[in-house]
Structure 1
């Protein structure tokens, strides 16, 4: 059952990224233009970049709809992690709400952080690490060996959690390799392994719907490779406050909790809702919070 749901989620994500102009091709650009015409766009255009993680699919669809409420034509552009940072630093995109810091994207922050504006956290208390199903008799990264696992199932190369895992493999002198793939492929493999109670260890981060759907847990990290308390920050290009002050303030006001993000992710993954529909449902249920984000006179 879980494997079937994961398959549907992969398809839903693929379709939604095209419909939201998140892949940058001609068809998606046209789809974005059509949506913009429907919502007005009288206040100008805003381009947000993001990585293809379920958490960022959730947050970007929510903030995009909120900006559209304020009259902006919003384009969501799905890119690789390094390009997400580079595009904002160079002014090619207006910002992102997906800065996993201080450690997960530390390399990108060190390289590009001084070339953009850091608006601070939009979510706090997140973490990264290696995780296993509860039925696994393994509690520490030190036990991630070839006796217990065939490989570490990772996500896309260049992701901060993948870089940290490469460091963990070296620091713990692990005798198995890290296999990179994608967020969707990793969660599909996790669902399949759990359905059959097979051994699996994955690169993991929270918030993520898999912690609500499956009985999984982080492994202990005696070497302290992964940060236990991180935050997701909003970063915008220099000059956005002068060019689009209302959008800048909305992005600065944007702040929610882990349960909020999980609610959107679960509607997409478990209830098979399109990302945009799941985002709108959350907005409808949290009108007071959204109105605070839309308050141009409010400062977090």
Structure 2
């Protein structure tokens, strides 16, 4: 009996060794910040991993700083919402030797200060002279966001002594923007493209002659250092994952309308099989 037990244990061990992927960890964790672009991309990644690849993927909402640190430490597998080279440049510089940059998943992104079209100023340099009309406030988002640190620098660079930077969230910012537009009040907010707000209201970026916010940016995929070795199939998918901003913004708008980002992501991959095939190396 003891001999049979040993033989069974040996067969079981050989099974684990012989069958590729049998003992592979199927859990994948993707970090994201609750920005509309990040929500869209992260849910699409989750949907492909779960529905097409058979993984048990989840996405976890964190701050921007925590997103970078968790990937560097290996607590999460990666994220698909790094804005480089400007917005998240200071985060990347701190951990670039501990993560892997898989390159852009979308190009042509932008950040800056945004006002409604009816606000008749054109430059960040004009804000201080009209501070009273803006209640002395730039309406911001969560304090850990890269655009917030850039906005702090803008206050200094443009000597905006009569303006302060208000903290909040993306949802708070758009709610305040909505109310202001409805009443045709003056408001200036931290803004970025892609974002659904540009499809809903007539908005414009204020000119940035001092180039504090930088030019066009890439939205980039960042993964933990050893992901390729541990999960080559996941790594290959994330390395191929890319889409146009216009396509992304369409999904972002739908997410805003119904508040069901994962269901929308599943529908999206069902309706775009050619894109999914490209991401999975099937075409």
TM range (shorter): 0.7 to 0.9
**d(CA) in 2 for partners of 1:276, 1:49:** 15
* Residue equivalent to 1:60: 42
Query: 1:43: Cα distance to partner?
Result: 6.3
**d(CA) in 2 for partners of 1:97, 1:47:** 12
The within-5 A match list for 1:15-164 is: 44-68=26-50, 69-145=52-128, 146-150=131-135, 151-164=137-150
Query: 1:295: Cα distance to partner?
Result: 1.8
- Where does the alignment leave 5 or more consecutive residues of structure 1 unmatched? 1-41
Q: Is the 8 A contact 1:98 1:234 kept in 2?
A: yes
Q: Per the alignment, in what secondary structure is the counterpart of residue 57 of structure 1?
A: helix
**d(CA) in 1 for partners of 2:201, 2:263:** 24
In the TM superposition, what whole-angstrom CA distance separates every residue of 1:244-264 from its partner, at most 9, and x where no partner exists? Answer: 100000000000011111011
Aligned pair 1:250/2:237, yes or no?
yes
Query: 1:148: Cα distance to partner?
Result: 3.3
**d(CA) in 1 for partners of 2:185, 2:206:** 17
**d(CA) in 1 for partners of 2:278, 2:29:** 22
In the TM superposition, what whole-angstrom CA distance separates every residue of 1:205-224 from its partner, at most 9, and x where no partner exists? Answer: 00000011110010000100
Aligned pair 1:260/2:243, yes or no?
no
* Residue equivalent to 2:188: 201
Q: Is the 8 A contact 1:48 1:93 kept in 2?
A: yes
Query: 1:280: Cα distance to partner?
Result: 2.0
In the TM superposition, what whole-angstrom CA distance separates every residue of 1:169-227 from its partner, at most 9, and x where no partner exists? Answer: 00000121000100111011111111111110000000000011110010000100012
**d(CA) in 1 for partners of 2:174, 2:220:** 24
Q: Is the 8 A contact 1:43 1:70 kept in 2?
A: no
Aligned residues: 256
**d(CA) in 2 for partners of 1:185, 1:142:** 25
Q: Per the alignment, in what secondary structure is the counterpart of residue 148 of structure 1?
A: helix
Q: Per the alignment, in what secondary structure is the counterpart of residue 203 of structure 1?
A: strand
4+ residue runs of structure 1 moved beyond 4 angstroms?
Answer: none
**d(CA) in 1 for partners of 2:26, 2:258:** 32
In the TM superposition, what whole-angstrom CA distance separates every residue of 1:41-73 from its partner, at most 9, and x where no partner exists? Answer: x86111100111111111100111011121111
* Residue equivalent to 1:240: 227
**d(CA) in 2 for partners of 1:135, 1:233:** 34
Aligned pair 1:192/2:174, yes or no?
no
Query: 1:284: Cα distance to partner?
Result: 2.3
**d(CA) in 2 for partners of 1:60, 1:257:** 15
- Where does the alignment leave 5 or more consecutive residues of structure 2 unmatched? 1-23
Q: CA RMSD in A?
A: 1.5
Query: 1:281: Cα distance to partner?
Result: 2.4
* Residue equivalent to 2:19: none
In the TM superposition, what whole-angstrom CA distance separates every residue of 1:2-30 from its partner, at most 9, and x where no partner exists? Answer: xxxxxxxxxxxxxxxxxxxxxxxxxxxxx
Larger Rg: 2
**d(CA) in 2 for partners of 1:273, 1:129:** 26
